[in-house]
Amino acid sequence: MPEVIDHRPNRALLPADRIRRDPAPSRLQYRLERMWLRPIWRRAVRIGVPAALAILIGGLWLADPDRRALLSDGVQQVMDKIQNRKEFQVTTMVVEGASPVVDAALRQMLPVDLPASSFDIDLAALRLQVMQLDVIESVDLRIKPGGILSAVVKEREPAILWRHARGIEILDRTGHRVASVTSRDVRADLPLIAGEGADLAVPEALSLIDAAGPILPRVRGLVRKGERRWDLVLDQGQKIMLPATGAVIALQAAMALDKAQDMLGRDITTVDLRDPSRPVLRLGMDARNTIREARGQALLGPDGKVIIPEDDKKGG
Amino acid sequence: MAELYQTQRAMRNIRRAALQRGVIGILDIGTSKIACLVLRFDGTGTFRETDGVGPMAGQVNFRVIGAASTRSRGMRRGEIDVMAETERAIRTVVAAAQKVAGVRVDHVIACLSGGRPASYGLAGEITLESGRVHEHDVARVLAACDAPDFGRGREVLHAQPVNFAVDNRSGLGDPRDHVGNRLACDMHLLTVDGDVIGNLVQCIRRCDLELAGIASASYASARAALVEDEQELGSACIDFGGGGTGVSIFVKKHMIFADNVKIGGQLVTQDIAQGLRVPLPVAERLKTLNGGVEATGRDDRDMLDLGPDASSWDGERRAVSRADLIGIMRPRVEEILEGVREVLDAAGFDSMPSQQIVLTGGGSQIPGLDGLAARILGPNIRCGRPLRIDGLAHQFTDPGFSSAVGLALFAAHPQDEWWDFETPADSYPTRSLRRAYRWFRNNW
């Protein structure tokens, strides 16, 4: 303790004790501050340096293959743990609106055995796979709460039979294949169409069959000609040739003729309506011979040739 | 002269480049304080009517985004005394202003208050070849002004064409396209010591700054403190600074005279320190807080405590009356005003049509100064504050900052100077092209 204590006010700190700091920034500090005010430096230091450090540390840590394996194993374990939780388990599959055959096919298509995690079921891929079945028009796949995989299926309705060179197929209203059949008798209730490209014009064929209502018992089927127009084939070798456009109207006209004059009940083999303004009828053999007989002409044989009497041949 | 012309042109180009980059710094290096403003030029006006700043004088295309001021160091009488100290002061103030603005300042415009300014009125005359004043004729008549002998080591700071006359029609502001046979011009030339400018340029360059222009401090403060009518009708601006008192005379919006009285506020402080036997900081404090020039009876009873630093050895506190302080300050202020009077007389201010005198600068805040100045200088006296510019903080709007504000106006709208016109030699190719064009037009 000093012997003399200075009690004077405001003299606690002698001026010499005070260190006067120069308020001016040093030249280096000044230059650094100015450099810091450049946007490119700020960006480099604020974003570039932390990013480089993070990449460096991460890269160094991952350089060891053991650590990489450890990391991927850990991630995989956590993912498995989460995916195998009870909440994500799918236990049952419910199929609505499908026939038993389709139901079985759907269950077989499921890539995993139930119960399975809902993460393992790829609904979009499964849906694409299911849609490849011809019989299915649309399917609504979803995983419902409670672990239920619900599939609401809408099947295609068989509308018509199509006979072609490779067999007989059932088509739906739009012409899409539903299934194949071995013989026509399996589905005798469906109308029959034939010919190349007939499946592309199924809606028109259906409307033609609707229009042929009065003579439906006599209709054998429809034949697509040149992928362009239809022939309506009846029993007793009769057929109605329809135009490429306006076939329904032409058929309705033929039906009207038939109703008024019983056209199809007569000996006519072909009704040619390809030119709607000028229908043409082809008479049957008996009718032609009746006419020839009445005119005194020689009769025609079943092959369409004039029968030459025996005596003429001999005498000739 | 040619070298100077090139330097000044280069500075104008730097200024234009700085305006294109949008940021320019203003550096007002005074004897007692140093101020730095950072201006942002962003093309269209950003002023808001709610700020109380109207589109006055067209100063709307910039705003102050950073400002700082600090005590000046190493300066004496408006000139650089110790370069390193001044450089430190510049670094301090520029760093502070940059911090406020958040942008880097690369180009500065500075002003110079000392350096023994000398004004010259020059006259030039040419005959017009084409009977009409063209752009190059203006440059030619400016080049034709006969420069007097400035003396050794003098540099031209301002060379402004003040007046043009075509034949006998005088008083033209812009003579271009006037018809006549003879073009005459009057030019005001301000020269200062070249070494002083050199020191300033060197100091600024050592702070990594580029000089985009340099102006006389008295010119700058007059541009900020005089309103347009005063500049048009004729007036004198007295800038009371720390190290000197600047005088500039304006008429028809042009400076026609500038000079410097070498007595300033620091001498007043020195007088107080000597007279009252107090340290300089205490004297400065007494001057700014309690100073005055008109003593009244009340001032005798108004005792000012001199503080602990001024007390005697045994700790007894001293006090002086305000009348004593005024008694010390007044003779020195009167001496300053007498000096200003002499300068104005030498400039022929008495024969000016309007004799308005505007007091500005830090010293003009002494209470009662306008009364004293009215007795010595003339009846039309007012204390002027700088023009309000957009974004300037309130503490920078007092009269002490008028030269900084004037420099900002100078940066935004510099008046035409001699180096803004092409020299006749440079314009020769364009003229010959024009002649060729005319020949084609007449003949085809």
Q: What is the mean pLDDT of chain A?
A: 84
For A31, list phi and psi in degrees, rounded to 5. -65, -40
DSSP string computed for chain A: --SS----TT-SS-TTTS-PPP-SPPHHHHHHHHHHTSHHHHHIIIIIHHHHHHHHHHHHHHTSHHHHHHHHHHHHHHHHHHHTSGGGEE-EEEEES--HHHHHHHHHH-SSPSSEEGGG--HHHHHHHHHTSTTEEEEEEEEETTTEEEEEEEEPPEEEEEEETTEEEEEETTS-EEEEESSGGGGTTS-EEESTTGGGGHHHHHHHHHHTGGGGGGEEEEEEETTTEEEEEESTT-EEE--SSSHHHHHHHHHHHHHHH-GGGSSEEEEE-SSTTS-EEEE-HHHHHHHHHHHTPPPB-TTSSBPPPHHHHHH-
Residue-level pLDDT at A11 = 56
Q: What is the nearest CA distance from B315 to chain A, expressed in angstroms?
A: 7
Residue-level pLDDT at A73 = 95
Q: Please say which residue of B161, B194, B227 terminates a domain.
A: B194
Residue-level pLDDT at A316 = 46
Residue-level pLDDT at A78 = 95
Is the Cβ of A22 closer than 8 Å to some Cβ of chain B?
Answer: yes
The answer to whether B419 touches B189, Cβ cutoff 8 Å, is no
The answer to whether residue B112 scores a pLDDT higher than 80 is: yes
Looking at chain A, which residue has its C-alpha nearest residue B94? A30
**What is the residue range of B126's domain?**
118-194
Percent of chain B with pLDDT over 70: 91
The answer to whether residue A17 scores a pLDDT higher than 60 is: no
Is the Cβ of A184 closer than 8 Å to some Cβ of chain B?
Answer: no
Residues of B in contact with A24 (CB under 8 A): 73, 88-89, 91-92
Q: Please say which residue of B299, B315, B333 terminates a domain.
A: B333
Lowest mean pLDDT of B86-100, B289-303, B334-348, name the range.
Answer: B289-303
Residues of B in contact with A22 (CB under 8 A): 88
- Residue contact A30–B104, C-beta within 8 A: no
The answer to whether B401 touches B386, Cβ cutoff 8 Å, is yes
Which is more confident, B196 or A5?
B196
Each residue's pLDDT tens digit, B62-88: 888 899 999 898 888 888 889 999 999
The answer to whether residue B45 scores a pLDDT higher than 70 is: no
Please count the structural domains in chain B: 2
Domain assignment of residue B408, yes or no: no
- Residue contact B95–A38, C-beta within 8 A: no
Looking at chain A, which residue has its C-alpha nearest residue B307? A10
The answer to whether B162 touches B256, Cβ cutoff 8 Å, is yes
Amino acid identity, position B343:
V
Q: What is the nearest CA distance from B269 to chain A, expressed in angstroms?
A: 22
Each residue's pLDDT tens digit, B379-399: 889 998 888 887 888 888 899
Q: What is the pLDDT averaged over residues A151-160?
A: 87
Q: What is the pLDDT averaged over residues B32-50?
A: 74
Which is more confident, B361 or B131?
B361
Residue-level pLDDT at B46 = 52
The answer to whether B322 touches B296, Cβ cutoff 8 Å, is no
Each residue's pLDDT tens digit, A156-214: 888 888 988 888 888 888 888 888 888 888 888 888 888 888 888 888 888 888 888 88
Each residue's pLDDT tens digit, B348-382: 888 888 889 999 998 899 998 988 999 898 888 99
Percent of chain B with pLDDT over 90: 25
Q: What is the pLDDT averaged over residues B265-279?
A: 90
User: Residues B44, B50, B56, B60: what is their CA dihedral angle, to the nearest 10 degrees?
Assistant: -20
Residue-level pLDDT at B427 = 44
Residue-level pLDDT at B59 = 54
Largest CA distance in chain B: 103
Split at pLDDT 50, 70, 90, the class of A8 is: low
Each residue's pLDDT tens digit, B238-250: 999 888 899 999 9
Residues of B in contact with A42 (CB under 8 A): none
Considering only CB atoms, A38 lies closest to which of B89, B104, B315, namely B104
CATH (domain of B141): 3.30.1490.110
- Residue contact B102–A37, C-beta within 8 A: yes
Looking at chain B, which residue has its C-alpha nearest residue A31? B208
CATH numbers and ranges of domains, chain A: 86-155 (3.10.20.310), 158-283 (3.40.50), 289-316 (no CATH)
Whole-angstrom distance, CA of residue B171 vs CA of residue A207: 103
The answer to whether residue A21 scores a pLDDT higher than 80 is: no
Domain assignment of residue B6, yes or no: no
Considering only CB atoms, B91 lies closest to which of A9, A25, A37, namely A25
Q: What is the pLDDT averaged over residues B195-204?
A: 89
For B336, list phi and psi in degrees, rounded to 5. -60, -45
Q: How far, CA to CA in Å, does A275 sit from each of A239, A249, A266, A280, B205?
A: 15, 12, 22, 9, 103
Whole-angstrom distance, CA of residue B206 vs CA of residue B277: 39
Residue-level pLDDT at B248 = 93
- Residue contact A25–B102, C-beta within 8 A: no
Domain assignment of residue B45, yes or no: no
Considering only CB atoms, A23 lies closest to which of B92, B102, B208, namely B92
Q: Model ipTM?
A: 0.73
Is the Cβ of A294 closer than 8 Å to some Cβ of chain B?
Answer: no
The answer to whether B404 touches B396, Cβ cutoff 8 Å, is yes
- Residue contact A22–B88, C-beta within 8 A: yes
Q: Please say which residue of B333, B349, B367 terminates a domain.
A: B333
Q: What is the pLDDT averaged over residues B108-128?
A: 88
Q: Which of B92, B33, B27, B36 is nearest to A25 (CA)?
A: B92
Whole-angstrom distance, CA of residue A123 vs CA of residue A220: 45
The answer to whether residue B159 scores a pLDDT higher than 60 is: yes
CATH (domain of B272): 3.30.420.40
Split at pLDDT 50, 70, 90, the class of B267 is: very high
Domain assignment of residue B179, yes or no: yes
Q: What count of other Cβ atoms lies within 10 Å of the Cβ of residue B429?
A: 9
- Residue contact A30–B91, C-beta within 8 A: yes
Q: What is the pLDDT averaged over residues A61-87?
A: 91
The answer to whether residue B286 scores a pLDDT higher than 50 is: yes
Checking phi first, is residue B171 left (phi over 0); if not, alpha (psi -120 to 50) or beta? left
DSSP-derived 3-state class of residue B58: helix
Split at pLDDT 50, 70, 90, the class of A311 is: low
- Residue contact B99–A33, C-beta within 8 A: yes
Each residue's pLDDT tens digit, B413-427: 777 777 777 665 544
The answer to whether A150 touches A127, Cβ cutoff 8 Å, is no
Each residue's pLDDT tens digit, A203-250: 888 888 888 888 888 888 889 988 888 888 988 888 899 898 888 888
The answer to whether residue B132 scores a pLDDT higher than 70 is: yes
Residue-level pLDDT at A90 = 83
